[in-house]
Structure 1
Amino acid sequence: MTIIENLLNEIEQEAQITRKFLKIVPQDKFDWRPHPKSMNLQQLTTHIAELPAWITMTVTTDGLDFATTPYEPSKIDNVTDLLEFFEQSYADGRAHLQNFSEADLEKRWLLRHGEQILVDRNKYETLRMCIAQIIHHRAQLGVFLRLLNIPIPGSYGPSADEMGK
C-alpha cells in the first residue's frame, strides 16, 4: 500500500468517527463554552468540520501566511449545515489527496504569520498534522459533550457510555 493510500484510509476512518460526534452536537448549546479561553461549541465544531479542507490546502499550496490571508471561520448555525460543511470539506480533501503525487510529499510547507514561522514541515508531515488536528479537536469536543452530560460515542472502540458504565 502506498503512503497516499494509507493516508486516505486514515482520513476515512477518522471521518467516520468525526461524523458520529458532529451528529450529536446540541445546536441549542452552540454558544456554550467550558471556559472563557475556550472556543464555544459552534466555533469548535465548525473548525473540526473545516479541517479536512486543510488537506486540500496542503497539497495545493506551499503554505499559508496569516498576515496576508487572515483566518476567517465559516459561520455555521445548525447541525445540518455543520454536517454538510464537513462532508464538503472531507470530499474536497480526499479528492485532492487521491490525485497527489507521492514524489511531492517531501516538498516544504510553511505556516507563518508574516516573518514568524509557525510550522515548517514537509507536506507528508503537514498532512499528518491535519489528521492529528482533527483528532485533537474531536477529543476536545468529547470533553465539551461530556460536560454537557451528553453520552459520548466510541472512537476506537466502545465508550464508557456505550458500555453502560
Structure 2
Amino acid sequence: MSETLPQPTIQAAYAQELKHELQLTRRLLERVPTDRFDWAPHPKSMPIGKLATHMANLLTFVERSLQGPETDMLTVAPPPALSSTDDLLSRFDVNAASIQQAVVQAADEAWQQPWVMRRGEQVIFNMPRRAVARVLVLNHLIHHRGQLSVYLRLLDIPVPSIYGPSADER
C-alpha cells in the first residue's frame, strides 16, 4: 500500500519556486550594461534599461496584493527610474527580499482571497492572490526574462543558462 505524502502549502510551494526564479532572473539582470540602458532592438521595443527596471519592479505586486483587498494604482507613486546596473540590482535585491518575506508570512487562506487592481473607478483585474503571484508576477517575469535574453544576445553579451545550457554557458 502506498503512503500518501503530505501536500506542501501554497505558501511553501510558491516560496520555493519563487526563490529559484529570482536567482535565474538576477543572473540575467547582472548582465545588463549600464552604458546601453537606452538601447532597444526596435523602435517599438522597450529600451533594455526600462525592461530590466520593469522586471525588478514587478516583484512588488505580490506584497502589494497581500497588504489589502485592493490597490488603486492612481494612489501608488511610481518608483524612480534607474540609470545603472548597480542601481538595478540593488532595487531587485530589495524587492526580492521583500517579496520572499511577504510570502513566508502569508497564510494559505490569504492566497485564496481576491485582490482587485484598479485605476480609479476602472477595475484592471480581480483575481485570487495566488493568481496574482503566478500570472502577474512569475509568468510575467519569465516572459520578460525571455525578452531580456534576446536583447543580450543581440548585444553580443553572453546569455546565462536559464533552464538548461545556453550557447554561452554549458
* TM-score higher than 0.5: yes
Residues 56/162 of structure 1: CA separation in 2 closer, same or farther (3 Å cut): same
What's 1:142 paired with?
Answer: 149
CA distance in 2, matches of 1:71, 1:13: 29
Equivalent residue pairs, number: 162
CA distance in structure 1 between the aligned counterparts of 2:129 and 2:30, rounded to whole angstroms: 31
RMSD over aligned CA atoms reads: 1.5
CA contact (8 A) 1:45 1:141 kept: yes
Measure how far apart 1:17 and its partner are. 0.4
SS in 2 for 1:46: helix
Instruction: Identify which of 57, 70, 73 aligns with 1:63.
Output: 70
Tell me the alpha carbon deviations over residues 52-94 of structure 1, each in whole angstroms, 9 at most, x when there is no partner.
Answer: 222211211223323x236624221111121111110000111
Indicate the residue corresponding to 2:122 in structure 1. 116
Task: State the partner residue of 2:78.
Answer: 72
Normalising by structure 2, we get a TM-score of: 0.88
Q: Deviations over 1:134-162 (max 9, x none)?
A: 11111111111111121211111111222
Decide which moves more: 5-14 or 115-124: 115-124
Residues in 2 aligned to 1:37 and 1:69: alpha-carbon distance in whole angstroms:
29
Structure 1 runs (4+) deviating above 6 angstroms are none
Q: Does 1:82 align with 2:102?
A: no
2:140 aligned residue (133, 136, 145): 133
Letter matched to residue 46 of structure 2: M
Question: Mind listing any 5+ residue stretches in structure 2 that lack a counterpart?
Answer: 1-7
2: CA distance, partners of 1:38 / 1:57: 28
Contact 1:153 1:161 in 2 (8 A): yes
Q: Give the CA deviation at 1:24.
A: 0.8
- Equivalents in 2 of 1:35, 1:43: separation in Å? 14
Contact 2:10/2:111 (8 A) holds in 1: no
Secondary structure of 1:139's aligned partner: helix
Whether 2:43 is the aligned partner of 1:30: answer no
Deviation at 1:11, TM superposition (A): 0.8
* Percent identical: 37
